[in-house]
Amino acid sequence: MSTEDLSPGEKAHRTRLLQRGLELHQSIEESRAELEEVKQGLYAFAEPGLDAGETSVTISGKAGACTITRRTTTSIDDKKLSKLKSLLGVRFESLVASKVTHSLTSAFKKLLEDPDPVDADLAEKVAGCVKTRESTAVSFKPAA
């Protein structure tokens, strides 16, 4: 929809929405940075308990409470997978879980979206085998 197609009331409403969105976006970005500083400060208070082996520490006060949880994840460095396989030998299969993922190629997407007449029947059948998810994003950019 072009600006020319909008009534004066719609233009004003759009401008108000844009302005409010920009204000909220700026406020959230500032709050996000401040919240990170607060979290780091609280973490410093919880660190002795976490270093002593606790997985979670709760800090309570008159205003409420927060829980700080330390979680450690360990994964295989893909660049060292060959070395790991060599070191583990036959035990690799029992100690490492492998996961395979499948994704559509651009040719497959074209088959689904705009099949050649020869592939129309196949496209209809395989369409039931894939999931389609749509997402929408709105980003704000303040005027310079």
Domain ranges of the chain: 1-72, 74-132
What's the pLDDT score for residue 2?
A: 65
What's the pLDDT score for residue 1?
A: 57
In this prediction, the residues of the chain whose per-residue pLDDT falls under 70 are 1-3, 140, 144
What's the pLDDT score for residue 63?
A: 86
What's the pLDDT score for residue 54?
A: 86
What predicted TM-score, i.e. pTM, was given to this entire model? 0.53
What's the pLDDT score for residue 115?
A: 87
The residue ranges of DSSP E strands in the chain, in sequence order, are: 56-61, 64-69
Per-residue model confidence as pLDDT tens digits over 47-89: 898 888 888 889 988 888 889 998 888 889 989 999 999 999 9
